[in-house]
């Protein structure tokens, strides 16, 4: 059985933090096309920026998701397309995404 886990989808190669921040809105719209929908998003997600791995003079967009590995992998291509850069998947530390874990826990309680 494939269980939900916390993953990061990293998009490296932005010239600076401002450019990475500018990529957040299109990715947010991709993850949640109907901003004012009822209930939670199908896949809990969050957005952030970080130093580019291996090149501190550049920046990365970091998308946290709590989902199955297969669903997370399916997000790589569209996120890469909307940002114009390759996206890679890495397993994340759930303690770095406590809000996603809490959202998932609450939704599981509601569903029961």
pLDDT at 3: 85
pLDDT at 41: 80
Is residue 92 pLDDT above 90, yes or no? yes
CA angle at 67 for the pair 65 and 69, rounded to the nearest 5°: 105
Task: Tell me which range, 27-36, 62-71, 93-102, 103-112, is most confidently predicted by mean pLDDT.
Answer: 62-71
pLDDT at 104: 77
Rounded to whole angstroms, what are the CA distances from 24 to 11, 34, 63, 86, 110?
11, 16, 9, 15, 29
25-66 pLDDT, tens digit per residue, is 999 999 998 878 777 788 889 999 998 767 777 899 999 999
């Amino acid at each position: 059985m494939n269980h939900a886990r916390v993953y990061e989808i990293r998009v490296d190669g932005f010239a600076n933090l401002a450019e990475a921040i500018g990529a957040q809105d299109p990715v947010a719209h991709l993850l949640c096309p109907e901003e004012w929908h009822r209930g939670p998003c199908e896949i809990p997600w969050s957005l952030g920026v970080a130093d580019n791995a291996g090149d501190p003079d550049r920046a990365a967009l970091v998308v946290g998701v709590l989902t199955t590995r297969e669903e997370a992998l399916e997000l790589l291509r569209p996120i890469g397309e909307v940002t114009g850069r390759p996206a890679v998947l890495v397993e994340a530390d759930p303690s770095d995404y406590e809000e996603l874990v809490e959202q998932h826990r609450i939704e599981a309680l509601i569903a029961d």
